[in-house]
Amino acid sequence: MPRQPQDKPGLQAERTELSWERSAIGLLASSAILLFRQTGPPAAARTLLAATAALLAVLVLGLGHRRGRRTRAIRVIAGKNIVSDARTEVLLIGWAVAGFATAIVLLLML
């Protein structure tokens, strides 16, 4: 007997949103570390990096909220629950965080 598609996505959507929020909190923590650390890049560069990390955290929260809405919007095709992939969100945040890490490394080398 074939299984009926579920009306709700279950806990997967909630776990996905929580993981995006944890990523944002990690970026905010790195922002605070950059601001309060007295060694490393000059103060102006640290402030700029901290502001960039805070903006990235807001971007992660926004994309996480968008992803959560898309996860909850389940389509049923041929008896299967279909959720859109997160390729856009993951690539955007991945490249942004890689650029942020590169900027930190470059400033530490100065």
SS3 category, 83: coil
**pLDDT tens track, the chain, 110 positions:** 555 555 555 677 778 788 889 989 998 898 888 788 777 667 788 888 889 989 999 999 998 888 888 777 776 677 776 667 778 888 988 899 899 889 888 887 77
Contacting residues for 107 by C-beta, under 8 A, at least 6 apart:
40, 41, 45, 49
Handedness of CA 71, 75, 81, 82 (dihedral sign): negative
**Largest interatomic CA distance in the chain:** 67
Nearest to 31 by CA among 17, 45, 46, 21: 46
